[in-house]
Amino acid sequence: MIYAKDINENTPWQDLTPGGEIYEPGTARAFNTGSWRTDTPVFHEEACKHCMLCVPFCPDSAIPVKDGKRLDFDYMHCKGCGICEEVCPFPAITMLTGGAAK
């Protein structure tokens, strides 16, 4: 069995899976799609009421939640679409122009 963690951009063809099949779930977690980010959301914790509206609206899974509270953005997966800022009823999210590294 070939696991996703053992595959990277240096893996020779002999060690890849036929058809690029993936034999385990959730491997997108390991893939840094945040490098595509066009704009960057900033989380202002002091203004957040933890209403959790932003979490289901995020088209990716870039807003982690722990113990009923949202945490700072997962910038490894955030693409900067700005939907969270749109739906936030409070001034808890602002967008910076550009995919600034975070």
Partner 1 sequence: MNHRLSGNEAVAYAMKQINPDVMGAFPITPSTEIPEYFAGYVADGEVNTEYVTVESEHSSMSVCIAAQAAGARAVSATSSCGLALMYELLYVAASCRLPITLACVNRALSGPININADHSDSMGARDSGWIQIYAENNQEAYDNFLMAMPIGETPSVRLPVMTCMDGFITSHAVENIELLETDVVRKFIGEYHPEHYLLKKENPLAVGPYDVSPYYMEHKMLQAEAMKAAKARILEVAAEFEKISGRSYGLFEEYRMEDAELALVLIGSTAGTAKAAVDKLRDDGVKAGLIKVRVFRPFPGEELARALAGTKAIAVMDKSEGFSAAGGPLFAETRSALYDLNQRPYMVNIVYGLGGRDVKVEDIEKVFDRLADIAVTGETGPVYSHMGQRSKEETA
Query: Does 23 participate in binding partner 1 (rule CB under 8 A)?
Result: yes
Query: Does 6 participate in binding partner 1 (rule CB under 8 A)?
Result: no
- DSSP codes, 39-84: SEEEE-GGG-----SHHHH-SSS-S-EETTEE-S--TTT-----HH
- Of 22 and 83, the one with the shorter C-beta distance to partner 1 is 22
- Of 10 and 97, the one with the shorter C-beta distance to partner 1 is 10
Query: Does 36 participate in binding partner 1 (rule CB under 8 A)?
Result: no
Query: Does 24 participate in binding partner 1 (rule CB under 8 A)?
Result: yes
Question: How many residues in total does the chain contain?
Answer: 102
95 pairs with which residues across the strands?
A: 41
> What is the total count of residues that contact partner 1 (CB under 8 A)?
14
The two tokens of residue 8 are: 């990277």
> For residues 54 and 64, is the Cβ–Cβ distance under 8 A?
no
Choose the binding region for partner 1 from 12-20, 55-63, 78-86, 91-99 (rule: CB under 8 A).
12-20
Per DSSP, the three-state class of 27 is helix
- Of 18 and 89, the one with the shorter C-beta distance to partner 1 is 18
In the complex, the residues that contact partner 1 under the rule CB under 8 A are 9, 11-13, 16, 18-25, 27
